[in-house]
Amino acid sequence: MKCRRCKELAQIALPSHHTAFCRDCFERYFIRQIETGIRRQKMFTHEDRILCALSGGKDSLALMWVLSHLGYDVTGLHVDLGIEGSSPMARGQVEAFCQDHDLKLVVVETAPKGLGIPEVYKALKRPICPVCGKIKRYYFNKTALEGGYTALTTGHNLDDEVARLFANTLRWDQSYLSDQGPALPAEAGFAAKVKPLYRVTEFETAAFCFLKKIPHVKAPCPYSKGASFTSHKALWATLEEKSPGSKIAFYDGFLERGRPAFAALEPGHGTKLSPCRTCGYPTSVEWCGVCRLKRQVAGLPPEAAEAEE
């Protein structure tokens, strides 16, 4: 198989694009895909201060590398979830990456705030992924707003977005289908959230990290076993193998035609948000989910959350 661009021996085959690339041409393709996503979705400019959430995995580190390479003012944010074995490894990977590339990094630890994942898991005794996601989003947003960042980027890739869209579609979740997308503008209490990797797959980010020699965490989170998104991804991998290009067609089609249709149904039906009585985070009830969770983990009654802080 030859590189489509330079005709050298290819290292990466991309059936979804009916093409293959050598090392150098793949790097050029990958960066251009991200630039195209940023431009098409008007995610941010070189004037913005960008906070990039870094888990230590391939996607977020590849994203941070590319944003820095493109000259954006980007700072990394790592949320240390306090998971024995797993979190020190992830944090070490992120810190080493930022040090090696001379990049700014902010680290937030959840355990001292009463939200270490092992403690949360013990208190809830149910699948932890959605709760962990809620905690991370909370600290991403809080750090972005308090630090004056104008865009918050995450390493969600095309596979993540398709799996999420698929799950939302299976439930016909009108509310999520009305605003799922790679760019959510800032609104009261929320920083602008963007996903510049939405046009590349996790195969591509893994290949990019390998070729650029970016070390990253490969082991799965010890709490993620049985998560539904992995089975959705497996279904889509089979579909993509049989019909290359299905994922991007499904997602682009949704952005172009599906989302506007759902959004038209939503005005006036959205939930009204107000600041959490304890921390000020936007919530549809008196106290936000994270403040309620803190009390639950601490074994306190749900009422009077404001007394805690």
Partner 1 sequence: MITVRIEPDNEVKTLEKINTTQQLLTRLNLLSTQALIIRGEELLTPDRRIGQGDELVVRKVVSLG
Interaction site with partner 1 (CB under 8 A): 1, 10-13, 15, 20, 23, 57-59, 129, 159-160, 201-203, 205-207, 210-211, 218-221, 223-224, 227, 229-230, 233-234, 237-238, 240-241
In the chain, the amino acid numbered 155 is: G
- Cβ neighbours for 268, distance < 8 A, ≥ 6 positions apart: none
Strands 73-80, 104-109: pairing kind: parallel
CB of 251 to partner 1, least distance (A): 16
Q: Which is nearer to partner 1, 9 or 285 (CB)?
A: 9
CB of 65 to partner 1, least distance (A): 17
Q: Which is nearer to partner 1, 111 or 206 (CB)?
A: 206
CB of 228 to partner 1, least distance (A): 11
Which CA distances in Å does 4 have to 31, 224, 297? 17, 38, 55
Q: Which is nearer to partner 1, 190 or 229 (CB)?
A: 229
What is the Cα–Cα distance from 57 to 204, expressed in whole angstroms?
A: 13
What is the Cα–Cα distance from 111 to 70, expressed in whole angstroms?
A: 35
Q: Which is nearer to partner 1, 10 or 290 (CB)?
A: 10
Q: Which is nearer to partner 1, 175 or 224 (CB)?
A: 224
What are the φ and ψ backbone dihedral angles of 190, each rounded to 5 degrees? -125, 135
CB of 209 to partner 1, least distance (A): 9
> 214 and 58 in contact (C-beta within 8 Å)?
yes
CB of 196 to partner 1, least distance (A): 17
> 267 and 278 in contact (C-beta within 8 Å)?
no
Compute how many other C-beta atoms are within 10 angstroms of the C-beta atom of residue 173. Answer: 13
Q: Which is nearer to partner 1, 59 or 288 (CB)?
A: 59
> 72 and 44 in contact (C-beta within 8 Å)?
yes
CB of 197 to partner 1, least distance (A): 12
What is the Cα–Cα distance from 52 to 63, expressed in whole angstroms?
A: 8
- Cβ neighbours for 17, distance < 8 A, ≥ 6 positions apart: 245
Q: Which is nearer to partner 1, 25 or 276 (CB)?
A: 25
Q: Which is nearer to partner 1, 75 or 205 (CB)?
A: 205
CB of 79 to partner 1, least distance (A): 14
CB of 291 to partner 1, least distance (A): 25
In the chain, where does DSSP find H-type helix?
Answer: 23-40, 58-69, 86-100, 117-124, 129-146, 158-170, 174-179, 202-211, 228-242, 246-253, 259-265, 289-297
